[in-house]
Structure 1
Amino acid sequence: MPLEVMLALVIGGIAGIALLLHLSGRSNQRVLTPEIAREEWRRHFPDDMIVDVTLAHDGHAALMRTETGPGLLWALGADTVARHLMDFDWLDHPKGLEIFFHDFGAPRVLVRLDETERRHWRHLMEPA
């Protein structure tokens, strides 16, 4: 098979799969509720005891308070990512808070928060 034909088939196949995923709604970013946030946190950290859940107004991030300390859960497409807030830095960003983890697996995340949420989240993330 000529290379040009094979390349066209591969590109067409990948584009077709992407289009099917998008049309079926699988490319939408996950929206969290308190119950979903608890379930997702337990999926990532099954041994943690959850004390409280604070959702961002857009529903794409949740600040989790556990018996071992705070943690952050955020939507990454249709899935979620969770990290304990043990070794991190944060900066104010015009759209919310930018959190830098000292972890190459998830180096940073921008949590979109309004000014009221930003103050509340900073207060909850402060060490005891």
Structure 2
Amino acid sequence: MPLTVLIPMVVLGIAGIALLLHLAGRSQRCVLTPVSAEMAWLRQFPGDRVAEATVARDGHAALILTDHGPGLLWAFGADTVARRLLDYDLIDRGDRLRVVFHDFTAPTVTLTLDPFERRHWLNRMQTP
């Protein structure tokens, strides 16, 4: 098959699949509840015992307290990412809290929290 036919077929096929997934609602960010946050955490760290799951008001992040210490779970598209809060920096920018992990596999995450949530999360994140 000539490339002049193959390339448009591949490009249109990928675009069509992306459009179908978007129309089916598969491109929306997941919204967490305390139960779904706990289940998502246990999917990543099955040996942990979750003591508390505090979900942000926008539903796109959760602070997880476990027997191994605090952890952070956040929406990454339709799935979630979970990291233990072991080696990180916090940058407080008023209405946003930026967490910079010292791990090349974890991205920097920016959390949108109201002032009450931000204070609560800061206290809980620094709990040993």
Q: What's the TM-score bracket when you normalise by the shorter of the two chains?
A: over 0.9
Counterpart of 1:42 in structure 2 is 42
Aligned AA (2:22): H
Q: What is the CA–CA distance in structure 2 between the aligned matches of 1:61 and 1:89, rounded to whole Å?
A: 17
Aligned AA (2:31): V
Counterpart of 2:78 in structure 1 is 78
Q: What is the CA–CA distance in structure 1 between the aligned matches of 2:77 and 2:94, rounded to whole Å?
A: 22
Counterpart of 1:67 in structure 2 is 67
Aligned AA (2:15): A
Shift of 1:95: 4.2
Aligned AA (2:100): F
Aligned AA (1:45): F
Counterpart of 2:16 in structure 1 is 16
Unaligned stretches of 5+ residues in structure 1:
none
Q: What is the CA–CA distance in structure 1 between the aligned matches of 2:126 and 2:49, rounded to whole Å?
A: 19
Give the fraction of aligned pairs with identical amino acids, expressed as a percent: 56
Counterpart of 2:26 in structure 1 is 26
Give the TM-score normalised by the residue count of structure 2: 0.94
Q: Which runs of 4+ in 1 moved over 4 A?
A: none
Q: Secondary structure at the match of 1:103?
A: coil
Unaligned stretches of 5+ residues in structure 2:
none
The count of aligned residue pairs is 128
Shift of 1:127: 4.0
Give the TM-score normalised by the residue count of structure 1: 0.94
Shift of 1:84: 0.3
Counterpart of 1:53 in structure 2 is 53
Counterpart of 2:116 in structure 1 is 116
Shift of 1:105: 0.9
Q: What is the root-mean-square deviation in Å for CA atoms of aligned residues?
A: 1.2
